[in-house]
Amino acid sequence: METHKPHVLLIDDERATIELMGAVLGTQGFQVTLCHTAREACHLLDTLRFDAVVTDVVFEGRAEGADLLARCREAQPDAVVVLMTGYPAVDAAVSAIKSGATDYLQKPVDPIVLGAMVHKSLRERQLDVGRGRLAFSEMVDIVSGMVANTIERVDPYTAGHGERTRRYCRILGERFGLEQHTLERLELGAIAHDYGKIYLDDLGFLTKQGPLTPEEYREVQRHPELGARMLGDHPHLEDVCKYVAEHHEKWDGSGYPRRLREDEISLPGRILGVVEVFDSLSTKRSYKDVWELPKTLQFFEAQRGRAFDPRVLDEFLALLEVHGEEWIAAPQRDLEAAGVRPPG
Catalytic residues: 197
Beta-sheet strand order (sheet of 103-106): 31-35, 7-11, 52-56, 80-85, 103-106
Looking at the DSSP bridge assignments, the partners of residue 56 are 84
Closest residue to Fe ion, judged by C-beta, is 194
Structural element, H or E, at residue 52: strand 52-56
Distance in Å, CB of 63 to Fe ion, minimum = 51
Classify each residue of 36-47 as buried b or exposed e, where b means 16 or more C-beta atoms within 10 Å of its C-beta.
bebeebbebbbb
**Cα 23 from chain centroid (whole Å):** 25
Task: Measure the CA–CA gap between 67 and 244, rounded to whole angstroms.
Answer: 37
| Smallest distance, Fe ion to C-beta of residue 275, A | 12
Q: Which CB, 64 or 279, lies closer to Fe ion?
A: 279
Shortest distance, position 111 Cβ to Fe ion, whole Å:
46
- Cis peptide before 342, with omega less than 30 degrees from 0? no
Question: With respect to Fe ion, which residue has the nearer C-beta, 8 or 151?
Answer: 151
Longest dimension (CA), the chain: 75
CB of 192 to Fe ion, least distance (A): 10
x/- site string to Fe ion, residues 191 to 230, per CB under 5 A?
---x------------------------------------
Q: By C-alpha distance, which of 73, 71, 54, 72 is closest to 14?
A: 54
Of residues 157-196, those binding Fe ion (CB under 5 A) = 194
- The count of chain residues that interact with Fe ion, using the rule CB under 5 A, is 1
249 binds Fe ion (CB under 5 A): no
H helix or E strand, kind and range, residue 34: strand 31-35
CB of 249 to Fe ion, least distance (A): 11
Between residues 152 and 194, which has the closer beta carbon with respect to Fe ion?
194
- How far apart are CB 269 and Fe ion at their closest, in Å? 12
- Helix boundaries (H) for 131-195: 136-154, 161-175, 180-192
Nearer residue to Fe ion within complex by CB, 81 or 220: 220
Answer yes or no: are the C-beta atoms of 275 and 247 closer than 8 Å: no
Cβ neighbours of residue 303 closer than 8 Å, sequence gap 6 or more: 313
Comparing CB distances to Fe ion, the nearer of 194 and 279 is 194
Contact footprint for Fe ion (CB under 5 A) = 194
